[in-house]
Amino acid sequence: MPVPGEEPTCADPPAGRVGPGGDDAFGSDGNSLVQARRLTRSFGSFTAVASVDMRVAAGEVVGLLGANGAGKTTLIRLVLGLLRPSGGSVRLFGAPPSRRTRTRVGYVPQSLGLYDDLSVGENWRFAAGAFHLADTRLPEELSPWRDVPVGDLPLGLARQVAFAVALAHRPELLVLDEPTSGVGPLGGARLWEQIRASAETGAGVLVTTHNMEEAEQCDRLVVMVDGRVAARGTVQELIGDRTVTEVRPSRWPQAFSWLEEHRCSVALHGTALRVDRPADEVAALLSAHDPRAEVREVAANLEEAFVAIVRAGSPPVKP
């Protein structure tokens, strides 16, 4: 169903931004665990998800990227059947989402999905009973906190418990909404080791993240802007031929200020500055202030490509 007031469309991103494994290639071989077509959800006059096509196949990690409010969590809830779509369709394991299909999913929401007033051991036993698991033993790494209420745990540790609970029944699909938020670097690395291990055993993974280093570990990425798919593909497909200007000034604090005064978007990378303007334009801006500065065009990274995609997909701010 098209969004009211707009022409019917599948809302595909611009040409050249859909890779060979793009979401328009709905597999007919039964390999797709999630299939969404023109999926739309509105709340009154506000459209949170607009005509989204997406798929997740067995054995792949698909990352959802987008700013807060882009529609990522709403899309996940639609995929799981926790929200009804206003338009379009979604299939989970080839059928409409239901309690039955959700038994094959391991889900970690942003709220963790645990009972704060129950201990770690009690949460584990509850999950084991819900999924009819024969082995209800708590994983050894969680044993030291067996009798601690989840609400008393640090956020990073609580997320590890939630992740362990989600994996307890060996799901065929993992759906993870910001799984490493509040987790330290070491804990986050361990969680991603488990994510990749799950994919290698054949599980599909749909994960949201704000961390570009984590995003680079995904097999495919879907970038959402204002409820729509703005771009999708592998990391290299999203970066494409995008470039930025690298500046190695003799006095970078002053160069940083000069460029910002000229409304350039500037980021510090090591001892160099990265600027979102053409190299000749940046060189001209710096010529009077730092004629010895080294200025050259370099390939963009994923974060810079993401920022460019979001800017291109966002409506202009009204004065």
Q: Per residue in 120-148, pLDDT tens?
A: 989 888 888 888 887 777 888 888 888 99
Q: Which domain holds residue 269?
A: 243-299
Q: Give pLDDT, residue 210.
A: 82
Q: 75 and 147 share a domain?
A: yes
Q: Give pLDDT, residue 11.
A: 35
In a domain, 105, yes or no: yes
For residue 279, what is the domain's CATH number? 3.30.70.600
Q: 53 and 179 share a domain?
A: yes
Q: Give pLDDT, residue 73.
A: 92
Q: 168 and 65 share a domain?
A: yes
Q: Give pLDDT, residue 314.
A: 61
Q: 172 and 73 share a domain?
A: yes
Q: 171 and 188 share a domain?
A: yes
Q: Model confidence over 31-51: pLDDT tens digits?
A: 789 999 999 999 999 999 999
What does the block give as tokens for 169?
């029944």
Q: 63 and 162 share a domain?
A: yes
Low-confidence ranges of the chain (pLDDT < 50): 1-29, 316-319
In a domain, 14, yes or no: no
Instruction: Work out how many domains the chain is built from and give that number.
Output: 2
Buried b (16+ CB within 10 A) or exposed e, 115-142: eeeebbbbbbbebbeeeeeeeeebeeeb
For residue 161, what is the domain's CATH number? 3.40.50.300
Q: 91 and 142 share a domain?
A: yes
How many Å apart are CA 109 and CA 115, to the nearest integer?
Answer: 13
In a domain, 311, yes or no: no
Backbone angles phi, psi at 215, to 5 degrees: -60, -35
Buried b (16+ CB within 10 A) or exposed e, 5-42: eeeeeebebeeebbbebbbeeeeeeeebbbbbbbbbbb
How many Å apart are CA 70 and CA 50, to the nearest integer?
Answer: 10
Q: If 0-12 CB within 10 Å is exposed, 13-18 middle and 19+ buried, where does residue 58 land?
A: middle
Q: Give pLDDT, residue 75.
A: 95
Q: 278 and 165 share a domain?
A: no
Q: 156 and 281 share a domain?
A: no
Are 110 and 178 in contact by the 8 Å Cβ rule? The answer is yes
